[in-house]
Homo-oligomer: A and B are copies of this chain.
Amino acid sequence: MYELTMDLKTDSRTPLYEQIYSYIKKDIQSGRIARGEKLPSTRALSKHLEVSRSTAVLAYEQLLSEGFIESEPYRGFFAAQIGDLYHLEPVKEKEQKKEAREKKYRYDFTPNGVDLNSFPYQVWRKLSRDILMDDRTELFRSGNSQGEYGFRNAVCNYLYQARGVNCTPDQIIIGAGSDYLFMLLAMILGTHHKIAFEDPTYKQAYRLADSLSYERVPVSMDKDGIMVTELSKTDADIAYVTPSHQYPSGIIMPMKRRLELLRWAREHKGRYIVEDDYDSEFRYKGKPIPALQGYDRKEKVIYLGTFSKSIAPAIRLSYMVLPKPLLHIYHERYRFVNSTVSKVDQFIVQRFLEEGYYERHLNKMRALYKGRHDTLIEALKPLSDICRISGEHGGVHLLLTFEQGRQEEELILQAEKRGIRVYGLNDYRIRKDSTDKPTVLLGYANLSEEQLKSAAQILIECWGFSGRRPGIMI
């Protein structure tokens, strides 16, 4: 019989039974223990290795459960045929092809920032620990394709209280990000539609609509948002809008325009409004205006929302509220499509909402962003004679519109030369026009008040006098 000799490290962090298991496993894999060879009894093994009997038993049980050895009643343990067992060599990471290296900036005014230093790590750890606490098979069984009911109920309550959205949990579909929900919506609506987009708009959705082979038509905006008069002249039957805080202009659509928009939708059967309420959580003056969906009495509004802006981009949790006719189509024909969100994530965010953490987090972020918002506006005052600030009082970015004569690209380049990244409105325009006033976006979510002050100072230097002096200055 095979004689096991191994030096066990009693001081190791790996338990003894684990060491014995690994040792025998290696010998079986290497063939040092041939198939069918008899192994010592647990008693003999424990005696031989001077370990407790239970340690030997544990080691054998592990080997049994993974199929490396077989037990025969009254005869003992034998090495199994392991030719067909998995044996995966750890392979070290391949060298990743470096993406074209990003330029380094001292300050980046990205309009899509989220301050992750304020992410509620401690609460998140606690909640996920609690949820994984016991061995709940239910946690890993495939779930409701629409999202877990309890979570949808929590989202429903939040949307009603915070956004005035009128719906039942049954109307809510949970998805791993707004892009996915748009793809699902495309199945429900079909692609034989023409979608009108605000111009400028959220390009991600605009590109996605194209990828889903929708016809698209841009519609101009005035100070109140999308121009319904122009919209009516198009043959679009779906309007994709961001009324609570237009992206990127920051315009908040007044009630009158909202009602015109709803009227447009009612005028023809099959018309719908997609309301993307992506960042309405952050308003610094007065209460947020309720969502358009809340005023819809004719089942015309498809409401989209996400936790990416309000909690964190990487948690991949968005929601869609379907009007009844589309909900019916979904239930009849597309409910078979499996959910894209893990139950664990749904349960974590459900408790985050239900136990008051979300309310606290929103108020905290709001206070934080408001401070940065106020600081940046104050710091930019010296530019007031050459540009107009807009998009304030909400969201996490401002717009600076300059008089013509200046070039948007030039302004961006001047800032870049001083190590500051700003973003041009042209990237968001569908139609470019020589009469467009040069406009740059300044996002402040990722910069501290101190950083905002010094960055603004530099912008004042390179823009303020660039009439008189060249853009490059030290």
Contact = CB atoms under 8 A, between A and B. Distances in A.
Interface stretch (A269-277, A332-340, A381-389, A404-412): A332-340
A125 interface: yes
A211 to B, nearest CB: 5
A120 to B, nearest CB: 10
A169 B100 CA distance: 18
Q: Give the residue among A140, A308, A312 with the most B Cβ atoms within 10 A.
A: A140
Contact of A158 (B88, B140, B367): B88
B88 A356 contact: yes
Contacts of A287: 83-84
Contact of A170 (B97, B129, B338, B364): B97
Nearest to A281: B86
B142 A84 contact: no
Contacts of A286: 83-84
A211 B333 CA distance: 8
Interface in A55-97: 64-68, 83-91, 93-94, 96-97
Given A87-B359, A208-B337, A314-B343, A132 B121 contact: yes
A366 B208 contact: no
A173 to B, nearest CB: 14
A156 B344 CA distance: 26
A180 interface: yes
A468 interface: no
A363 interface: yes
A66 to B, nearest CB: 4
A340 B181 CA distance: 10
5 contacts: A83-B286, A91-B157, A117-B135, A142-B313, A183-B187
A364 B66 contact: yes
A212 interface: yes
A288 to B, nearest CB: 8
Contacts of A367: 64-67
Contact of A137 (B117, B150, B183): B117
Given A116-B140, A316-B342, A169 B121 contact: no
A165 to B, nearest CB: 13
A234 interface: no
Interface string A298-316: 0000000000100011111
Contact of A354 (B86, B90, B313, B359): B90
A170 B213 CA distance: 26
Given A93-B150, A183-B183, 6 more contacts: A89-B161, A96-B169, A140-B313, A176-B340, A314-B342, A316-B340
**Of A94, A139, A191, A342, which is in contact with the most chain B CB atoms at under 10 Å from its CB?**
A342
Interface string A343-361: 1110000000110101110
Given A207-B336, A285-B84, A340-B176, A124 B132 contact: yes
A87 B358 CA distance: 10
A396 interface: no
A119 B142 contact: no
Contacts of A213: 191
A166 interface: no
Contact of A337 (B96, B179, B316): B179
A19 interface: no
A177 interface: yes
Nearest to A125: B132
A369 B315 CA distance: 34
A35 to B, nearest CB: 14
Nearest to A367: B67
A360 B87 CA distance: 9
A121 B135 contact: yes
A204 interface: yes
Given A176-B316, A211-B187, A341-B176, A162 B86 contact: yes
